[in-house]
Amino acid sequence: MGRVAVIGAGVVGVSSAYLLARAGHDVTLVDAAGEPGTGASAGNAAQLSWAYGDAMASPALLKHLPAIAMGRDPAFRIHWQLDRDFLRWGLKLIANTPFRRWWNNTQDILRLAEQSRCELAILLKETDVEFDYRVAGKLHLYADRQSFAAAHSSVVRKNALGFEQRLLTRMEAENIEPALAAYQGEIAGAVYTPDDALGDAAEFCRQLTAWMIGRGQVSTLFGRRVSSFVQTGGVLTGLRFEDRDELHVDAAIVAAGPQILSLVSDLPEARDIRSVRGYSLTIPRSGLAPSISLTDVKRKLAFAAIGDRFRVAGLADIERPGAGFDVGRFDTLKLAASAVLPDLFDRSDELTRWSGERPMTPTSKPMIAASRRIKGLYINAGHGMLGWTLALGSARRVVDLLR
């Protein structure tokens, strides 16, 4: 056991700190922000998608790529960059679209999600953290017969892996979630997954960090940005911050999301990670809001009731890091949400806007590995849209790497 720094206090970093401390390590949680859970964890879709770890690179994406490239898909945008790493990432993404690679990647993600689900069950027994967690179930809504028919084979494959999923008509879906009677989007059919859950990822970060601090399990360094790694003979000995101070450690886990790209000189593996920006809006929850999690497949919208709030999240913009909030893209999300649930979103004056960068690999599988360049340095990043779902499973694998 030794002194371990975890760089990044989002769901992936906080989960890593928790399991490392539980394994007996002396853990310091480091983040450039002033508190945990302020990055991609702050406004994500809140869905814990145990059965929906489908890799983004797929035959369907390849078929749709020309329309995306020409800006004809409002939910998916590519900001083209004259950047060698961007082009290499894009080529690797395309290389992973054949069915066999997509399904292999998806199965790997689903196995990691199951590991995460098991770790969460242990955490809920061992701690008293509250983050509006509940097993809500999920309905994937398909707009047309063709896409719904294509979902059938996926359900068969996932049932064979042990996941419970059922194909439903719109009427059957409305019996499970009565709020769908007011849904203005087309619904040719739905896939129901009763065991999927949801929770507030940002609150999870705050509460679990406070719980660990209260028990002396971790120390924290917030408001400190890592500028480089200190090493001797290729072995990590510490972290150097922008103010030139150093923290002496025996190992470090980089779980800093898109900030990992600023450390690429020491972590060349980070070149396989790109930022995919997403958006969300959150309003007070009313009696009109669905209770079950919903995903509109056509519009790529995810809906979740989180405690006394209701959130819709979506869009996927592959862009340069640090591009920032785009009002036009947020308006695209709001208009899409208002079109399908007008009574819910058009009547709410209280609205929270958010966007964040979600680091993603070409395979959609997170990078969980030891650095090839510096001994004692590890990576736990690149979870894309599934950071909340995969966080604890990824943390468990990081702990195993340090043994």
- What pLDDT does residue 1 have? 66
Give the C-alpha distances (Å, rounded to integers) separating 366 from 58, 255, 319, 384, 388: 17, 10, 19, 8, 12
What does the alpha-carbon distance between residue 187 and residue 169 come to, in Å, rounded to a whole number? 8
Q: What are 267-283's pLDDT values in tens digits? A: 899 889 998 999 999 99
pLDDT band at residue 347 using 50, 70 and 90 as cut-offs: low
Q: What are 320-340's pLDDT values in tens digits? A: 877 889 999 999 999 999 999
Q: What's the chain's average pLDDT?
A: 94
- What pLDDT does residue 320 have? 81
pLDDT mean over 191-202: 98
- Please determine, for residue 236, whether its predicted confidence score (pLDDT) is greater than 80: yes
What does the alpha-carbon distance between residue 54 and residue 109 come to, in Å, rounded to a whole number? 7
pLDDT band at residue 259 using 50, 70 and 90 as cut-offs: confident
Question: With the C-alpha atoms ordered 226, 385, 113, 363, is the resulting torsion angle positive or negative?
Answer: negative
- In three-state secondary structure terms, 143 is coil
- What pLDDT does residue 348 have? 60
